[in-house]
């Protein structure tokens, strides 16, 4: 196996090793050992309102929460020793450029402030940074017709991505997770953060994210289904050369990513292994996505498989493939030892 990544590609101030050392929780997050609660991240879907706890049909055990319910949830989670929560905002009003996401009073800003307060620094408050939950067309950025087809305008989107990152940072996010697969997004965010005294704030990049059918149930949860077309012009083709994933990771690292992610997890273990081997000195995360969750839940509900056994086997496989950090809808059940 050749190791052609040169750590010299990027250097200070794009790279700051201290971003992953600035408090105990983030240091623990990047330690490497077996699957334990402190390496798990729990996704949560947040919307406006009060006393809202709406079940997601296709994801038994997962809910859309209003902020008061989020606070109650975080108060419980902070005693369980999980690594962090990953917040997704679902605004009441969506428009063509996802304005709610760039407002300091938008749903995600409110959710982060409330979660940070309730977390009392016992878990990391992580934000998914993307536009698909905020736009009325459901795509991950601003649209253009310039290319002869309606598509996400890469460079116009970078500008609002940077604004979105500052909203998350000002609200107090501990770690930002950009998921839009827009070229240059990590660099654009890093620059915006560094110019605004957030040079300590780390990023976990959805670096190798595939255009996947496994996101189906998530789009019900986040109400982010594209209103036309699909995401194949920005997310990776599952049939592309596996090496394309290395290129994505390499670019994100050069732009200042601190942690990189492979997504989905279960059918991309080969990619994880490859990334692990080529970048042995970078923390690797995997997203055990909604479709992976729903398949196991559905089969378990029918009594066809043993949920607890299969989940533990799955998470172990992801860890074995090289991902030390796992984002999973089972994080709470694992931490509570009810699985
Ligand atoms: C984009 C985003 C998606 C997921 C996480 N962040 C959806 C998509 O790319 O269409 C999917 C997560 C899952 O399926 O559990 N904001």
pTM for the model stands at 0.92
Pairing of strands 204-209, 259-263: parallel
What are the pLDDT digits (tens) for 206-259? Answer: 999 999 999 999 999 999 999 998 999 999 999 999 999 999 999 999 999 999
3-state secondary structure of 265: coil
CA dihedral sign, ordered 251, 253, 256, 262: positive
Question: Does the domain made of 35-335 have the CATH classification 3.20.20.70?
Answer: yes
Residue 119 near residue 82, CB atoms below 8 Å: no
What ranges do the domains of the chain cover?
A: 35-335
**Cβ-proximal residues to 247 (8 Å cutoff; 6+ apart), any chain:** none
- Annotated catalytic residue 209: yes
Ligand 1 pocket check: which of 108, 137, 152, 215 to mutate, most ligand atoms within 8 Å of Cβ? 215
- What's residue 188's pLDDT? 98
Catalytic: which of 39, 94, 209, 297? 209
Please determine, for residue 28, whether its predicted confidence score (pLDDT) is greater than 90: no
pLDDT for res 4: 60
Give residue-wise pLDDT tens across range 91-147. Answer: 999 999 999 999 999 999 999 999 999 999 999 999 999 999 999 999 999 999 987
* Banded model confidence at residue 32, pLDDT cuts 50, 70, 90: low
pLDDT confidence of residue 206:
98
Ligand 1: distance of its center to the CA of 1 in Å? Answer: 31
Residue pLDDT, tens place only, 35-80:
899 999 999 999 999 999 999 999 999 999 999 999 999 999 999 9
- Please report the pLDDT score of residue 7 as a whole number: 61
């Amino acid at each position: 196996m050749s190791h052609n990544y040169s750590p010299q590609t990027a250097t200070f101030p794009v790279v700051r090793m201290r971003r992953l050392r600035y408090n105990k929780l983030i240091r623990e997050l990047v330690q490497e050992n077996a699957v334990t609660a402190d390496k798990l991240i729990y996704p949560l879907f947040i919307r406006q309102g009060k006393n809202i706890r709406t079940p997601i049909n296709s994801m038994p055990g997962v809910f859309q929460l209003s902020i008061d319910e989020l606070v109650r949830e975080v108060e419980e989670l902070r005693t369980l020793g999980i690594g962090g929560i990953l917040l997704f905002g679902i605004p009441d009003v969506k428009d063509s450029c996802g304005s709610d996401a760039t407002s300091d009073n938008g749903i995600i800003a409110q959710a982060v402030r409330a979660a940070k307060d309730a977390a009392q620094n016992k878990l990391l408050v992580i934000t998914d940074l993307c536009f698909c939950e905020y736009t009325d067309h459901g795509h991950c950025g601003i649209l253009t017709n310039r290319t002869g087809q309606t598509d996400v305008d890469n460079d116009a989107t970078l500008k609002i991505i940077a604004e979105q990152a500052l909203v998350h940072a000002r609200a107090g996010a501990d770690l930002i997770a950009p998921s839009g697969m827009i070229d240059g997004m990590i660099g654009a965010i890093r620059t915006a953060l560094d110019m605004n005294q957030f040079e300590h704030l780390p990023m976990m990049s959805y670096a190798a994210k595939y255009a996947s059918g496994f996101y189906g149930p998530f789009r019900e949860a986040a109400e982010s289904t594209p209103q036309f077309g699909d995401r194949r012009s920005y997310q990776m083709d599952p049939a592309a050369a596996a090496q394309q994933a290395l290129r994505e990771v390499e670019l994100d690292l050069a732009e200042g990513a601190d942690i990189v992610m492979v997504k989905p997890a279960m059918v991309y273990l080969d990619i994880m292994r490859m990334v692990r081997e080529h970048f042995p000195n970078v923390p690797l995360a995997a997203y055990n996505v909604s479709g992976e969750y729903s398949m196991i839940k559905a089969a378990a509900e029918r009594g066809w498989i043993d949920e607890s056994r299969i989940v533990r086997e799955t998470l172990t496989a992801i860890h074995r493939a090289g991902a030390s950090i796992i984002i999973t809808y089972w994080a709470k059940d694992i931490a509570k030892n009810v699985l």
